Structure 1
Amino acid sequence: MIKWINTRFWASVARLILRNRIIILTLVVGMTIFLGYQWKNMRFSYTEANLLPDNHPVNNEYNKFLGIFGEEGNLIILAVKDSSLFTPEKFNAWNRLSKRFYAKSEVSAVISTDNLKKLIKDDENQRFDLEDLVKGKIKTQEEAEAIRDELFQNLPFYKSLLFNEEGTIRTAVYLDKEIVNTATRKDFIYSEVLPIIEEFEAETGMDLRVSGMPYIRTLNSQNIVDEIGLFIGAALLITSLIFFFFFRSFRATFISMIVVIIGVMWSFGVIGLLNYEITVLTALIPPLIIVIGIPNCIFFINKYQQEVKKHGNQAKSLQRVISKIGNATLMTNMTTAAGFATFIITESKLLKEFGIVASINIIAIFILSLLIIPIIYSFMALPKKKHLHHLNKRWIGAFVSWMEKMVRHHRFAVYAVSVALLVVSIIGIYQIRISGSLIEDMPQRADFFKDIRFFEEEFDGIMPLEILIDTKNKNGVTKLPTLKRMERLEELIEETPELSQPMSIVSLAKYSRQAYFGGLAKNYSLPTSNENYWISSFAAKSKSEANLLASFVDSTGRYARITTFMKDIGTDRMERIEENLQNKINNTFPEKKYDVTMTGKALVFLKGTKYLVNNLIMSLSLAIFLISLFMAYLFRSFRMILISLVPNLLPLLITAGMMGFLGVPIKPSTILVFSIAFGISVDDTIHFLAKYRQELQSNHWRIRKSVYAALRETGVSMFYTSIVLFFGFSVFMISSFGGTVALGGLVSATLLFAMLANLLLLPSLLLSLERSIANKRVLKEPNFRILPEKPNRKLSDLVRRKNRNNKS
């Protein structure tokens, strides 16, 4: 009865589509226009990817820090490493550069040699004042060298911020915090920063290095935008070429391109409709729709041409395409969408949005294929004989014969290779590392990435790590015991080679003592208890010192920050550094008096990566569970579920092993591989097992004959779709982003392994376990008819009988 209802349903769908062609096409055009109108709501992300849930404790700590000290990622750093800088002409040009930036409304402050202030003691008024290091335009070489000597020898307070021991000079440009996470930042970088830099380099002939999170984020985001068009164009090109190679028909290729292009337009429209940002993940969805949509077109068009070749009746062929392949393609698209939909449970906004948009658009591309392909063909003449020649290609027949030979005569070899790959993969899995790097996936050939490495070498990192100290008392930060505790923590930071020299109120306190005792560098240290009394009295009267203090202490004097920068290092090393710092904090700051937390973008990204790794296991387990339930609903057999999972889990293990051996880490981009690949590869299993069940019924439960028949029937279409998917995902390997390259290569490899597993290992298992599955009680009738079946007399009689009853 269920089969009859299902058959009637799809027959009704076929009639509905073919009888309302103009209306349906009008609706498709109308929906395309509507979703196209939603493009105006699309916007690109102007912040780093936050992988943690909004209410996660690490996010809460970071937001608390931002609430006290404001946005930390508003600093653009300019640097020059050139001994000729300290000549009158070039040094004046360097100072003019900082003036040009400070004149911009988007800039809140600039710290450079041009406006660098020396803290000096005013004995007459018993306070500290600020004095300019550079007084006007430099005219002689002697003046330039005197400034250089003063900076490098007597101003250790500015070390790491404005210079290092190797002679590299920096300028710090602080953007207005209100524009850092808006489109204004992008406009400012491209319309102001880059032209000013180019003019300076042309004028001086020096190589100006630029870094800082606003600058990096802007150029990195633009790379993502540029690659969207590149991916879409490359995916359309490669899939259309492969499609034409298989079908040798411009008409079929053109129809397929129409389907996927509309699918791409819908995918952008869905992003705009949901008011989501385009991130490094959602940018992958349009080309993914192309790659996943083409196999749908292959199934529909291949079935249409097969039907035309059989009987030459166009109406009958189109009806069978919808009623037979429609159900099969729906089921396979549902499993693919389920693989993406598992990301929705991660509670990570980035992955959740990716999962929602991807799963919606996978179902949408199925609907488009189901509607557009039959309708367009209904307005065209029947395919010519030359368009049907691909159905009898010899090399495809040879491939299928080879698979059958392996399954028939070399099953032991298939098992041996599978076990060997499994063992090797397990060894590789133990070598996988986890990456929490903010910059690892950035385009390494880009100039701004080379500048990142320059700053890492010269100033020990660019990723901010912040330590927030709550003294629990007003003005508790300025107490000498607090300063000494902070100094002990800073000593550990200075001893850690992966961290830069820290900046905090401790540096300012040392600078105050230096100024109080004549400005000599040897006096740059924390004051004693007796000294602190007199120095504090000077500081209390000093507006100049208060200006310097604002960056390190909040307005109440309760909170202090220690800022350092971290190199791009492995997650294991980052965790050890975090552990060492935490141990030092616990031993130095009593919990009753202080509340000390570590935060900053580097730490948030590390925690986000760890969070995603834990959720990877959950999402993949959910995908396996959901698809297992789906298989159980289809085949009503626990043994068939186990058999079907083997050829789909083995490719995932092989891929994980490859990641270990090739040094590809687990990170936000590669985490996607497993759920995506599993959701897609299980489609082949469904096709094969459905055809196998059909052949069992037709061949009176003779296992061997049914397996070989199913292999010959499904091998060609599985090969076609797997090749399209392999080369389609390979398109992502042209990316300049390391994570996207790894995603494309790993998914392609996984799907290739999955195809071979479903065509060799799965039928081998069915033959080896034939005694335990070859009966009607084990392999029950499924709830859905997935592949076209041979006429069933009982069903036909039932349909005719019901029709007669309706007439009477």
Structure 2
Amino acid sequence: MTKLLGYGFWNGVARLILRNRLFILFIIAGFTVFLGTQWKYMRFTYTEANLLPDDHEVNLEYNTFLEQIGEEGNLVVFGIKDSSLFTPQILNKWNALSDKINEFDAVALSVSLKDLKLLKREDDPKRFDLKPFIEGEVSSNSEALSLKKKLFNDLPFYEGLIYNKRTGTVRSAVYLRKDIVNTAARKDFIVDDLIPLIEEFEEETGITVHTSGMPYIRTLNSKTIIGEIGWFVGGALVVTSLIFFFFFRSYRATFISMITVVIGVMWAFGFLGLLGYEITVLTALIPPLIIVIGIPNCIFLINKYQQEYKNHGNKIKALQRVITKVGNATLMTNITTASGFATFILTQSSLLKEFGIVASINILAIFLLSLLIIPIVYSYMTPPKERHLKHLGKSWIEGFVNWIEKMVRDRKITIYITTVLLLIVSMIGIYKIKVSGSLIEDMPKNTGFYNDIKFFESEFDGIMPLEVLIDTKRPKGVMKLPTLKRMDELATTISETPELSKPLSIVNLVKYGKQAFYNGDPQYYQLPTSNERNFILPYAQSFSTEAGLLDSYIDSTGQYARMTTFMQDIGTDRMEIVEDNLYNKINILFPEDKFDVTLTGKALVFQKGTTYLINNLIISLSLAILLIAIFMAFMFRSVKMILVSLIPNLLPLLITAGLMGFLGVPIKPSTILVFSIAFGISVDDTIHFLAKYRQELRSSGWKIKRSVYASVREAGVSMFYTSIVLFFGFSVFMISSFGGTVALGGLVSVTLIFAMLSNLLLLPSLLLSLERNIANEEDFKKPAIQILDEADDEEELEKLDKD
């Protein structure tokens, strides 16, 4: 392997690139066109991220629920908190809105004031009839107020579903067809039909309508993700190009770099389509990530080209040395970065696995594009002029490098003490970190739909469904009175839990049946006794699924029952307490030999997924460290060098974790990514520095101090450039409206700045203090990274000059 990436290999690469320039450009163009044809296969997600493996117990339980009952996230609600609702004009318009919504094929069932049904007892023959709550248009204020009084006082069945008795808030519930909930048809209905109708009602009445429900939230959330991709890509291009131009003061260098990363972005979209992966809140980050990570490649290559040309004035020689001297180190830095992302492939979460696959493929692709396009394009251009090389001697850069060198030379003890203090403070902060498994925490907080989520949490105790699936283990077991009583007692426990809403189940309908039997008297809204059941049964037998809700809460065999409650946005710790309390009650009420009872629902699955990811974070990060340690061993053949190189890169991660604790940034799916991403990228600086250090050791006759200071001066400039680009590039993510993306961008940016300082201050200090033994190791003298000496490539240059 050492031979493969040694003198001969990179000489061959340089020869191949510079002798076949047009052919290579043609291949790049052809592959870009091919990937462009794959864009049409890109798909946008229509549901929340599933962070658990497919075979995880929680996923299996959720899938069992879907098989027995069907899709649970099909409820859209819209509500009004305004006393003027119960006036003839407004009430009629509200009812008309319900009629219009009911006309759409996407709607399976609508439960609004206009749709409410009253159970009426009829004795000849014995039956329950359904009567409309509102017949025709409301013509007077007295009629409207009478309807309000009847709703709030006589219909407890609809409390929590349609109205909040305490605040007077009224809402409508629209159940979408289950077969369209996770398809594009859902988006079309909500965006093109439902929202315009609601906006029209608001404009006509001046009343604010609050709209929510998981299908609605999913749709607008996905729409926001799609809209932000353009902002991310555009923002990353603008920021990185401005910084690049500020450093290099060269329009053509900036233009070449931008063209390179734009092609990389086109490839990223193409690979998403080619692999058939959905665009989620994570995969949407890949195109701007390619820009942010690709620009440092361009900086190292162009900076080296200009340095070489400034030294000897030979363009071909400079291009050849760019490929042979920088190519290997840049390859390894991109491999380590890709490895940081590739560790997500091992999490068994399909969401992170797809993110890891596409990100790692595209990181290696942008390396290949940079290595091919930049030397080829520069080979056709005139040599750089004096103004293009001025940045190499900027006084402020010189001042920064001089400060670094002075610190390393004279203040090593200060550096070590500062490192230890930062480490101690960081450990204190780490113990303050909290865990969050909230499904909505990262959603855009400056949007109307997020405010509406909070509205329904306040008025109806939540909007995220938590499901209880009860298997009675026998057909028609649900309608047995003892089973109903058990469910009613569990419903009482759920209602008394502050974070949960009043549940909906077949129990509510049975209670309503008893109330109807007693001529609608609300004091009889309760389960029947054994004797009452015999009297009521003849009436209830005529009443099957006509109410429209029965088939949603009991399966066709009568063996499975569903209880639906809605939960507030609570943290993982509190949810675990709620879950334990419910299971304690379930274990008492439902013996295992007669019942199987499961808590499930999308929000619970998401929270469990967060816990799963956190448990696997250490494994994932450990794998990243192990892989990078292997690369270090391969490149430098020194165990001591592995330790020396890992310390400056682990310290920034600990500092960032400490900051998260002090700033109250919780561990959640979005912030979990920070550590593997930042570690994979920050190691790049270490590799470049140590590659330069190894070269200086050879040329200086193994003089350690001279080699360290020379490495600081030359590698420090490129490391500073790339770190600043990465800092501002990742900062672009902070324009996101998603809290998780903001945290990801800010934390990675901060981590990379600490990583730059650590690699420029702590790493050289460690080399000066500990490297004497390493420098004498025979293995370290023959590393996998080979840097050409001038005498080694003169013959090759003569051949290239002839071409």
Gaps of 5+ in 1: 804-808
- Counterpart in the other structure of 1:231: 232
Q: What is the identity, as a one-letter code, of the residue corresponding to 2:424? A: V
Instruction: Give the drift of 1:444.
Output: 0.3
Q: Is the 8 A contact 1:129 1:545 kept in 2?
A: no
Instruction: Give the drift of 1:20.
Output: 1.1
Q: Secondary structure at the match of 2:179?
A: coil
Query: Where does 1:486-497 land on structure 2 (aligned, <5 Å)?
Result: 486-497=487-498
Q: Secondary structure at the match of 1:178?
A: helix
Instruction: Give the drift of 1:775.
Output: 1.5
Q: What is the identity, as a one-letter code, of the residue corresponding to 2:139? A: K
Instruction: Give the drift of 1:789.
Output: 4.8
Q: Is the 8 A contact 2:775 2:781 kept in 1?
A: no
Is 1:17 the counterpart of 2:21 in the alignment? no
| Pair 1:710–1:789, CA change in 2 (3 A) | farther
Q: Secondary structure at the match of 2:120?
A: strand
Taking the aligned partners of 1:94 and 1:138, their CA distance within structure 2 comes to: 11
Taking the aligned partners of 1:48 and 1:552, their CA distance within structure 2 comes to: 23
Q: Secondary structure at the match of 1:114?
A: helix
Is 1:55 the counterpart of 2:55 in the alignment? yes
| Pair 1:2–1:428, CA change in 2 (3 A) | closer
Query: Where does 1:91-106 land on structure 2 (aligned, <5 Å)?
Result: 91-106=91-106
Instruction: Give the drift of 1:520.
Output: 1.1
Percent identity, aligned pairs only, is: 67
Q: Is the 8 A contact 2:162 2:173 kept in 1?
A: yes
Q: Is the 8 A contact 2:244 2:254 kept in 1?
A: yes
Q: Secondary structure at the match of 2:161?
A: coil
Q: Is the 8 A contact 1:260 1:289 kept in 2?
A: yes
- Counterpart in the other structure of 1:570: 571
Q: Is the 8 A contact 2:494 2:501 kept in 1?
A: yes
- Counterpart in the other structure of 2:605: 604
| Pair 1:345–1:544, CA change in 2 (3 A) | closer
Q: Secondary structure at the match of 1:502?
A: coil
Cα deviations by residue, 1:173-217 (Å, 9 ceiling, x for unpaired): 111112111111111112111110111011111111100111111
Instruction: Give the drift of 1:705.
Output: 2.1
- Counterpart in the other structure of 2:332: 331
Q: Secondary structure at the match of 1:551?
A: helix
Is 1:362 the counterpart of 2:395 in the alignment? no
| Pair 1:2–1:153, CA change in 2 (3 A) | closer
Q: Is the 8 A contact 1:494 1:501 kept in 2?
A: yes
Q: What is the identity, as a one-letter code, of the residue corresponding to 1:272? A: G
Q: Is the 8 A contact 1:539 1:545 kept in 2?
A: no
Taking the aligned partners of 1:380 and 1:551, their CA distance within structure 2 comes to: 70
Instruction: Give the drift of 1:396.
Output: 0.9
Q: Is the 8 A contact 1:128 1:544 kept in 2?
A: no
| Pair 1:133–1:5, CA change in 2 (3 A) | closer
Instruction: Give the drift of 1:539.
Output: 1.1
Instruction: Give the drift of 1:45.
Output: 0.7
Q: Secondary structure at the match of 2:38?
A: helix
Taking the aligned partners of 1:538 and 1:595, their CA distance within structure 2 comes to: 31
Instruction: Give the drift of 1:4.
Output: 9.0
Q: What is the identity, as a one-letter code, of the residue corresponding to 1:588? A: L
Q: What is the identity, as a one-letter code, of the residue corresponding to 1:118? A: L
Q: Secondary structure at the match of 1:464?
A: strand
| Pair 1:611–1:590, CA change in 2 (3 A) | same
- Counterpart in the other structure of 1:806: none
Taking the aligned partners of 1:479 and 1:15, their CA distance within structure 2 comes to: 83
- Counterpart in the other structure of 1:410: 411
| Pair 1:544–1:368, CA change in 2 (3 A) | closer
Instruction: Give the drift of 1:544.
Output: 5.8
Taking the aligned partners of 1:66 and 1:796, their CA distance within structure 2 comes to: 67
- Counterpart in the other structure of 2:221: 220
Instruction: Give the drift of 1:546.
Output: 6.5
- Counterpart in the other structure of 1:453: 454
Q: What is the identity, as a one-letter code, of the residue corresponding to 2:417? A: A
Is 1:664 the counterpart of 2:659 in the alignment? no
Instruction: Give the drift of 1:699.
Output: 3.1
Instruction: Give the drift of 1:532.
Output: 1.8
Q: Secondary structure at the match of 1:139?
A: coil
Q: Secondary structure at the match of 1:15?
A: helix
| Pair 1:544–1:175, CA change in 2 (3 A) | closer
- Counterpart in the other structure of 2:117: 117
Taking the aligned partners of 2:617 and 2:645, their CA distance within structure 1 comes to: 22
Q: Is the 8 A contact 1:128 1:545 kept in 2?
A: no
Taking the aligned partners of 2:764 and 2:543, their CA distance within structure 1 comes to: 84
Q: Is the 8 A contact 1:129 1:544 kept in 2?
A: no
Query: Where does 1:346-745 land on structure 2 (aligned, <5 Å)?
Result: 346-543=347-544, 547-745=548-746
Q: Is the 8 A contact 1:303 1:325 kept in 2?
A: yes
Deviates more, 1:733-742 or 1:629-638: 629-638
Q: Is the 8 A contact 1:637 1:780 kept in 2?
A: no
Q: Count residues with an aligned counterpart.
A: 796
Q: Is the 8 A contact 2:338 2:364 kept in 1?
A: yes
Q: Is the 8 A contact 2:2 2:783 kept in 1?
A: no
Instruction: Give the drift of 1:784.
Output: 2.2
Q: Is the 8 A contact 2:644 2:763 kept in 1?
A: yes
Q: What is the identity, as a one-letter code, of the residue corresponding to 1:105? A: D
Q: What is the identity, as a one-letter code, of the residue corresponding to 1:479? A: K
Q: Secondary structure at the match of 1:442?
A: coil
Taking the aligned partners of 2:778 and 2:317, their CA distance within structure 1 comes to: 35
Q: Is the 8 A contact 1:474 1:558 kept in 2?
A: yes
Q: What is the identity, as a one-letter code, of the residue corresponding to 1:47? A: T
Instruction: Give the drift of 1:521.
Output: 1.1
Taking the aligned partners of 1:92 and 1:204, their CA distance within structure 2 comes to: 11
- Counterpart in the other structure of 1:343: 344
Q: Secondary structure at the match of 2:479?
A: coil
Instruction: Give the drift of 1:432.
Output: 1.0
Q: Is the 8 A contact 1:130 1:544 kept in 2?
A: no
Instruction: Give the drift of 1:542.
Output: 2.3
- Counterpart in the other structure of 2:769: 768
Q: Is the 8 A contact 1:3 1:784 kept in 2?
A: no
Q: What is the identity, as a one-letter code, of the residue corresponding to 2:581? A: N
Taking the aligned partners of 1:790 and 1:320, their CA distance within structure 2 comes to: 10
Gaps of 5+ in 2: none
Q: Is the 8 A contact 2:514 2:527 kept in 1?
A: yes
Is 1:156 the counterpart of 2:141 in the alignment? no
Instruction: Give the drift of 1:54.
Output: 1.4
Q: Secondary structure at the match of 1:550?
A: helix
Taking the aligned partners of 2:227 and 2:4, their CA distance within structure 1 comes to: 51
Is 1:89 the counterpart of 2:86 in the alignment? no
The two structures, once aligned, show a CA RMSD in angstroms of 1.6
Taking the aligned partners of 1:600 and 1:535, their CA distance within structure 2 comes to: 34
Q: What is the identity, as a one-letter code, of the residue corresponding to 1:225? A: I
Taking the aligned partners of 2:120 and 2:694, their CA distance within structure 1 comes to: 89
Instruction: Give the drift of 1:435.
Output: 1.0
Q: Secondary structure at the match of 1:174?
A: strand
| Pair 1:264–1:376, CA change in 2 (3 A) | same
Q: Secondary structure at the match of 1:441?
A: coil
- Counterpart in the other structure of 1:282: 283
Instruction: Give the drift of 1:779.
Output: 3.2
Q: Secondary structure at the match of 2:180?
A: coil
